[in-house]
Structure 1
Amino acid sequence: MDKKIFLEILNKYNQGKASEQEIEMLHAYYDLFDAEQNVLEQMAANQRDDVKQQIAASIAAQMHLTPVKKPTFSLNIKWLAAAAVLVLVFSVGILLFNNEETKQNLDERQAAAVVIKPGSNQAILTLADGSTIGLNEKGNGVIVQRAGLKVIKSLDGQVQYESDGEAAPSINTIATPRGGQYQLVLEDGTKVWLNAASSIKFPTHFAGSQRAVDITGEVYFEVAKNKKMPFIVRTQNQQIEVLGTHFNVNSYTDEAKETTTLLEGSVKVAKLKNGAVQVGASKIISPGQEASLTSVDKAISVNPADLEAAVSWKNGYFKFDKADIQTVMRQISRWYNVDVKYNGEISADLFVGKIKRTEDIAGVLRILELSKINTSVKGRTIVITN
């Protein structure tokens, strides 16, 4: 949408002549001023602020309220997809309530849910001798020092391994709980991001002909290049072999399939069965592609990937592209460390859009409520009622 059309709709809105669809669009744009590369970027800063204040004032006048701090996002637009499936779109904006009863119900839910905060940097390091260290409980600096090995926690919270390569390598594990995430730099310089409820098992330094690690859950890698020593990632069902590249692996056991998404370089994905690579069951994928399989698949499927969605968790938000409510809630459950219970028929609506991972659970429930998904909070359980 260009600047002229946007300002025309804004003028109609201020005169009370805008259609329902145009009003929804303006509400959606309200909080996009500082986040999106769109028509608003064409405006000078003072003009942008002017328009923003106009929208806020008009909304407040219509609601008989004074302007308040705007929420991070809301659901604003609905449409019927070609397949006659209702797609509910998340977009940032100001929340409008149909009536006082709805507002009161939402306020009660938010009050009940406010104690459920988003995840944070937390993980457990397990050393070769079985001893454990809570990484979020340790200060910055050297947290482990053994013969030929240093484990350092940096100012930004990540853990880095340094080895002189002389002592025999030992196996360490870093695991995040639900509601946790962590960053790690392996001894060879490979950077690792762990999502919630994930783990990586790795040697304190790499020796021999390959660099091999084992993971569970979801992990993003930026592998340091070493043509003489390929980097191997093993999950329950797949083995990924790379020389130096950026890729994401989603291997949660409660997801329908394991997926490897390639952003840069080239990887070879092979099917594992009982820990052994299956002959003839491998594929090489290129940037922009994803390889997926389940434990019962005979072959690996390769398809175009939504790269933004694949690594959105690493970049601080959720992105959904026609995801059903169960897919949405699995991600919410891991990040907020909550359980989910469904009452009644599960909604068939599909969700599209983004949610910041810094938002507390009240904001997420607000979106679901505006999507006609009834929610309630009982302890650390989110109840979805349809």
Structure 2
Amino acid sequence: MDQKEFYTILRKYREGIATPEEIAFLEAYYDLFEVEENVLDGMEDKAKAQLKNTIKVGLSEQIAAEERKSSSKVIWIKKWAAAAAALLFIGFASYLFTKQTTTNLASKPEEQVAQLDISPGGNKAVLTLANGSSIILNDKENGLITQDAGAEIVKTKDGQIVYRSKQSAQNAALNMISTPRGGQYQLTLADGTKVWLNASSSIKFPTVFTGAERKVEITGEVYFEVAKNRNMPFKVSSAHQVIEVLGTHFNINTYDDESADKTTLLEGSVKIHKLNTEGKEENISTILKPGQQAILAANAKVFKVSTADEEAAVAWKNGYFKFNRDNIQTIMRQVSRWYNVDVEYRGKISEDLFVGKINRSENVSEVLRILQLSKINTTIKGDKIIITN
């Protein structure tokens, strides 16, 4: 890429016709200016200032245009094409500048790098058997892990846990799989129901299903694809509600630090019963249709049912964050759980709203970019992120 091509991209960016890869390239460059002023040492100061200002003006104009569309300030997150931006950067830097930069992340001491970024979570979980013993699943090799109360517990080659009931099984025992902060996991229950656990979540379930019902208990956030069995309804219990289904796909978010429990139905039908403080069903319930979400706020007497943002509800299960006019605290709760970090706020908490999506496989710095666009300062210190407005 020569200088003419580079400024062609700048012009397209200003006119709003740049491709996603070109946008990602320019945004990556602006980030280099913000974080590493000496990364372009080979460029003259005047040219560097002009380039920085050109990109900054383009970013500011895009943000301002989005603000005018809403009565409240909304910061739009770009869909970062990291690989494409990196390739463009390498080609441009080697061609346009004669002096190669020697100050980069790779050349910094290892302990300093650890303070600059935090890696994302991964497949981590603990299996607790009926006798109370625990197995760290991410440490186990593929194949048969153990047997418990009429079921074989197998780890598949893609890292999932599958329960296979024996034909002669009559008695069931309760097992539990739990994920830590920075963990997620997928399993298949003995009836074929598929379960995805988000970070800081758990599910308690029988090794085999017997009797008239299939009952499980959860905490945190869990996505279900329930195997159909009209003769044996499937029930999911959490602290404040019970969900009853025959066969369906739905997501339930019951984190203690969220303001409400949210149940989002993607397929089938579910009936949700409210529980009292003693864990007993009250005479309060609602039935969801596909595309609806039920919200049960703390101390609420009824469910609030509305049209769901299905993509946002299951984004975590599909490998990314999606924010839909979310405030900074909502975003940082997700960050805290997935990156296993604590969050500290200093100064007034921003009232900006954020929209967009980012891959959960990115380091935490990619998520923090959205806050920096709103001029919110972020600092990583060990396992803590400090937010300063």
Give the shorter-chain TM-score range: 0.7 to 0.9
Q: Over residues 322-377 of structure 1, what are the superposed CA-to-partner deviations in whole Å (9 max), with x where a residue is unaligned?
A: 00000010001100000000000001110000010000112222332233110001
Distance 2:375 2:217 in 1: 41
Q: 2:174 aligns with which of 168, 171, 175?
A: 171
Query: Which residue identity is paired with 2:351?
Result: A
Q: Quick check: 304-313 or 267-276, which moved more? A: 267-276
- Residues 1:128 and 1:244: Cα distance change in structure 2 (over 3 Å): same
Within 5 Å, give how 1:142-161 maps onto structure 2. 142-146=144-148, 148-161=150-163
Are 2:124 and 1:122 aligned?
yes
Are 2:327 and 1:335 aligned?
no
Distance 1:139 1:185 in 2: 17
Query: Which residue identity is paired with 1:131?
Result: S
Distance 1:16 1:224 in 2: 52
Are 2:74 and 1:80 aligned?
no
- Residues 1:81 and 1:271: Cα distance change in structure 2 (over 3 Å): farther
Q: Over residues 298-345 of structure 1, what are the superposed CA-to-partner deviations in whole Å (9 max), with x where a residue is unaligned?
A: 111110000000000000000000000000100011000000000000
Distance 1:258 1:147 in 2: 33
Query: Which residue identity is paired with 2:123?
Result: N
Shift in Å, 1:255: 0.5
Q: Over residues 182-225 of structure 1, what are the superposed CA-to-partner deviations in whole Å (9 max), with x where a residue is unaligned?
A: 00100000000000000000000111111010000000000000
Shift in Å, 1:27: 6.8
Q: Which residue of 1 aligns with 2:95?
A: none
Are 2:344 and 1:350 aligned?
no
Are 2:93 and 1:91 aligned?
no
Are 2:29 and 1:26 aligned?
no
Shift in Å, 1:75: 10
Are 2:137 and 1:135 aligned?
yes
CA RMSD, aligned part only?
A: 3.3
More helix by share: 2
8 Å contact kept, 1:75–1:88: no
Distance 1:136 1:241 in 2: 31
For structure 2, the residue ranges without an aligned partner over 5 or more in a row are 26-42, 50-58, 87-103
- Residues 1:380 and 1:242: Cα distance change in structure 2 (over 3 Å): same
Q: Which residue of 1 aligns with 2:265?
A: 262
8 Å contact kept, 2:9–2:22: no
Distance 2:71 2:285 in 1: 37
Q: 1:206 aligns with which of 197, 200, 209?
A: 209
The alignment-based identity, stated in percent, is 53
- Residues 1:88 and 1:27: Cα distance change in structure 2 (over 3 Å): farther
Q: Quick check: 224-233 or 110-119, which moved more? A: 110-119
Distance 1:211 1:116 in 2: 40
Query: Which residue identity is paired with 1:250?
Result: N
8 Å contact kept, 2:13–2:23: no
For structure 1, the residue ranges without an aligned partner over 5 or more in a row are 1-9, 34-59, 65-73, 96-105
Matched residue count: 333
Q: Give the TM-score normalised by the residue count of structure 1.
A: 0.79
- Residues 1:150 and 1:13: Cα distance change in structure 2 (over 3 Å): same
- Residues 1:12 and 1:200: Cα distance change in structure 2 (over 3 Å): closer
Q: Give the TM-score normalised by the residue count of structure 2.
A: 0.78
- Residues 1:112 and 1:385: Cα distance change in structure 2 (over 3 Å): farther
- Residues 1:12 and 1:136: Cα distance change in structure 2 (over 3 Å): closer
Shift in Å, 1:76: 8.8
Within 5 Å, give how 1:176-255 maps onto structure 2. 176-255=179-258
Distance 2:174 2:225 in 1: 20
Within 5 Å, give how 1:20-59 maps onto structure 2. 20=14, 22=15, 26=18, 28=20, 30=22
Q: Over residues 6-48 of structure 1, what are the superposed CA-to-partner deviations in whole Å (9 max), with x where a residue is unaligned?
A: xxxx99962975684x36x627553689xxxxxxxxxxxxxxx
8 Å contact kept, 1:179–1:196: yes
